[in-house]
Structure 1
Amino acid sequence: MRNIKVVVSYDGTDYFGFQYQPGVPTVQAELERVLALITKEKVTVFGSGRTDAGVHAEGQVINFRTEARIPIDKLCVAMNSLLPPSVAAMEASEVDADFHARYSARARLYAYDILNRETPHALQARYSWHVRRPLNVEAMSVAAKPLVGVCDFTSFACADRDDGSPVRDMMSIDVERRGEHVIVSMRANAFLRSMARIIVGTLVEVGLGIRSASEVENILEARDRRTAGKTAPPHGLCLKEVEY
């Protein structure tokens, strides 16, 4: 039995997230449909993480097991000939039997794109959150510092989450202005459901002067979702890379 790893990218706009859900389009369902056609087998795809509805990916990692003999250097070509334009197989490799896209991962890197200018941009509307008022990036950076380290992120997760312990190791958070854009980059061993988006929503409130930077540490310690800011919309978030 071969174990195959594939790096995929997708525009999450028209999908109800990565993970399979009956009756609605998901990225996992598309990948399993295509791989079943290629391998002539029922294929189960394992992803490195369950991106929410509307969230994008440049470097999502999947793995699946198969008896099919398709050459590894032909797999992406075969997949892309059958996938819709919103999903693409980027690279494939054969890996050890014990490799698992989710459980073998050491870190995930997400980036959130905020278009920070007076007017929106039609061609960026699917991939960035338009915030009209100027953001104080320095204050946002200061506010993010208490979130780095091994922390209980209950305040920054959905109240109805089902992903186990709320403790995560946030390795870094960087907030930087790139022209008209403000990019929030977050690297952690794993993320709770909506955690990245709630962090961004809270930091934006700091950047707008709605909250002070010093409040974020108190929010973290409160372990209460009601104390944090609103959840940023999904379309600005992208899974950039998974580290193994």
Structure 2
Amino acid sequence: MRNILILIEYDGTNYNGWQRQPNAASVQEEIEKAIYKVTKKQTDIYGSGRTDAKVHALGQVANFHTDSAIPTEKFAVALNTNLPDDIVILNSIEVPEEFHSRYSAKVKTYRYRVLNTPVRRPIERNYAYHVREDLDLDIIKTMAKLLIGEHDFKAFSSSGSSVKTTIRTIYDIKITKENDIIEFEFTGNGFLYNMVRIIVGTLIELGKKSTRYDIQRALMTGDRGFAGPTAPPQGLFLKKVSYNLDIKS
């Protein structure tokens, strides 16, 4: 059996997330159906992590085992001919037997896009969070620095996760603005359920000069009440997952 890694880009608008589930469209299911069409065998694929409904990916990683004779580099081409237009395999490579897309991951990077305009723009409705109010970008950047490093991010996670620890490390946060789009980019060793969206929701409220939320107290107490609302899913993109491998798109 060979262990095949695939690098995936998808528009999550029409899916109820990455994970296969009954009675709802998922990215995982679409790719597994494509693998079946190509290999004629039912195959489970393992993603680097789940993305929620309407969340996108520029560099999702998954792996699967197969005894198919298809050349490794041809898997991407073969699968793409059987995938819908909103999912594409950017690359396929063979990896060691022990490699697992989730457990072998070292670093993840997420991007979040905010459209900051008084009037909404329909063309961005599926790819950005529309915020009408003026935002103080200096305050947002200053507050974001408090999140860099190793912290207990319990206050920045939603219930429903069974993780052993809520301690994570954020290595870097980049915040840029071009025209009316503000982009947040978070790089860390892992992220809790809805962690990026809650951080963005908190920073946005602070950028409105709200005094209701407090990042330092949220980190110290783990109290969800000190963190802001969960930003909507459509602005979120899984940008990159890094391993001790050279994965080219």
Partner of 2:217: 218
Task: Give distance in 1, aligned partners of 2:163 and 2:81.
Answer: 35
Of 222-231 and 105-114, deviating more is 222-231
TM-score (norm 1): 0.96
Any conservation in 1 of the 2:116–2:134 contact (CA below 8 Å)?
yes
Q: Which residue of 2 aligns with 1:37?
A: 37
1:177-226 superposed Cα distances (whole Å, 9 cap, x missing partner): 1221111110111111100000000000011111388x211111120222
Mapped contact 1:7–1:89 kept (Cα < 8 A)? yes
Structure 1 residue 16, shift from structure 2 partner: 1.1
**1:28 maps to 2:25:** no
Q: State the distance in 2 between where 1:136 and 1:9 align.
A: 32
- Which blocks of at least 5 consecutive residues in structure 1 are unaligned? none
The equivalent of 2:92 in structure 1 is 92
* 3-state SS in 2 of match to 1:105: coil
1:190 has 2:190 as partner: yes
Aligned partners of 2:198, 2:62: CA distance in 1, in Å?
26
Deviations 1:85-139 (A, max 9, x none): 1111111111111111111111110010001112111111110011111211111
Q: Alignment partner of 1:147: what SS? A: coil
Q: Partner residue of 2:168? A: 168
CA–CA separation in structure 2 for the residues paired with 1:52 and 1:169: 22
* Aligned-partner Cα distance in 1 for 2:76–2:37: 13
For 2:211 and 2:75, the matched residues in 1 are separated by 50
Offset of 1:72 from its aligned partner? 1.8
Output one character per residue of 1:121-180: Cα deviation in whole Å (capped at 9) or x when no partner.
Answer: 111111001111121111111111121111111100002322331111111112221221
SS in 2 for 1:82: coil
Equivalent residue runs for 1:223-238 within 5 Å: 223-238=222-237
> Secondary structure of 2:28's partner?
helix
Say if 1:163 and 1:193, in contact at 8 Å, map to a contact too. no
Q: 1:73 offset after TM fit, Å? A: 2.4
Distance 1:211 1:78 in 2: 54
Distance 1:225 1:194 in 2: 12
8 A Cα contact 1:53 1:234, kept in partner: yes
Question: Using the alignment, how far apart are the partners of 2:129 and 2:167 within structure 1?
Answer: 28
Instruction: Kindly tell me the number of residue pairs found equivalent between the two proteins.
Output: 243
The one-letter amino acid paired with 2:147 is L
Task: State whether residues 148 and 173 of structure 1, in contact with CA within 8 Å, keep that contact through their aligned partners in structure 2.
Answer: yes
Query: Map of 1:1-244 to 2, 5 A cutoff?
Result: 1-211=1-211, 215-244=214-243
Unaligned regions of 5+ residues in structure 2, if any?
A: 244-249
State the distance in 1 between where 2:211 and 2:31 align: 42
Task: Please give the secondary structure, in 1, of the residue aligned with 2:146.
Answer: helix
TM-score by length of 2: 0.94
Q: Secondary structure at the match of 2:92?
A: strand
Alignment check: 8 A CA contact 2:212 2:226 kept: no
Conserved? CA contact 2:56–2:236, under 8 Å: yes
Q: Percent identity?
A: 40
- Per the TM alignment, residue 227 of structure 1 is displaced from its structure 2 partner at its CA by 2.1
Q: Distance in 2 between matches of 1:102 and 1:25?
A: 22
How well do the aligned residues superpose, as a CA RMSD in angstroms? 1.3
Give the letter for the 2:167 counterpart: V
Aligned partners of 2:223, 2:37: CA distance in 1, in Å? 46
